[in-house]
Amino acid sequence: MKILITGGAGFIGSHLCKKFLDRGDRVVCIDNFITGSKENVRGLIGNNNFTLIEHDISKPFVIEEDIDWVLHFAAIASPNDYLAHPIKTLKSGLLGTHNCLGLAKLKKAKFFLASTSEVYGDPLIHPQPEEYWGNVNTIGERSCYDESKRGAEALTYAYHRQHNIEIRIVRIFNTYGPNMQLDDGRVVSNFIVQVLKGKALTIYGKGTQTRSFCFVDDLIEGILKLMDIKYLLPINLGNPSEYTMLELAKKVMEITGLSSKITFFKLPQDDPKRRKPDITKATKILKWKPRIDIDEGLKRTIEYFSKKISLGKKEAV
């Protein structure tokens, strides 16, 4: 297949690029590197089936070759980044989605939207099924990301209904693993980097808020399964095992064998108190469920960050 991936140099996008290339597909990767990294795809450059294009997806673009799939994974998804770039976040989610849907229409390609559990906001029901419409503050600090994805879903369905584009939408819950940025502000990378550098672990609120963490390999498997069937409604992908922030901090320290102090800060505005996917549909429809538990996933992620931090120290010298 010929597959275009926006945000292909990002955390999840780079894993997808490698997966498709490994199975013999042709991949066109588009990224403007505002949050993605060329390092994530450096090993793919030189592959005859791989093309890297530096471009801001919120601006119109043209691809000359035929495309079978447009996978829209470009997004400013980490809190540090979307709070620093709220307008760019909205543009990538809204204008970027519009541009990608236009390309899919032109090429008669299938369209895949990477949405997010953030469409549920600070949920009032738990766990969150796909039918839940969410509890989102439309003008809060997080709204630039939340509403960009809610709007992207609406755009996707508008194109599906009006232009009969075949679509897939995955709502991704907290995912972690290699190729995450050192400073992206997500809790798993924060804790790992902080403990490896001997710094205090930062917890917001009392640390009792929960998240459910899915290792990236499991997520990629779910995405591929969704591409292989014709299912046009949004579907949750995530690991339903739920941990408080304090429990996660202790696990990171246990696995690294290192200890750090924990410092507490005020809980950010609209930060969800609980987050856990209902994956009933993914289990039934995709025959999918996560296989890598938190201990194994953290071990692999810690190994990745340890190498990255060591390499950074050598380069600094």
Q: What are the catalytic residues?
A: 145
Q: Give the pair of three-digit tokens for residue 176.
A: 């972690």
Q: Could you give the 3-state DSSP secondary structure of residue 176?
A: strand
* Secondary structure in 3-state letters for 89-140: HHHHHHHHHHHHHHHHHHHCCEEEEEEEHHHHECCCCCCECCCCCCECCCCC
Bridge partners, 253 (sequence order): none
Q: Are 52 and 9 in contact (CB under 8 A)?
A: yes
Residues 211 and 216: their CA atoms lie apart, in Å, by 15
- Helix orientation angle between 143-163 and 86-107, rounded to the nearest 10 degrees: 20
Through-space distance between the first and last CA atoms of the chain, rounded to whole angstroms: 44
Quote the tokens at residue 151. 């709007």
CA distance 222 to 167: 16
How many Cβ atoms from other residues are within 10 Å of residue 61's Cβ? Answer: 16
In 10 A of CB 110, how many CB atoms? 19
**Measuring CA to CA, which residue among 297, 282, 168 is closest to residue 243?**
297
Residue 268 preceded by cis peptide, ω within 30:
no
Helix (H, G, I), strand (E, B) or coil at 172: strand
Spatial distance between the Cα atoms of 166 and 135, rounded to a whole number of angstroms: 28
The whole-angstrom separation of Cα 204 and Cα 179 is: 24
> Which residue in the block uniquely carries the two structure tokens 């990294």?
37
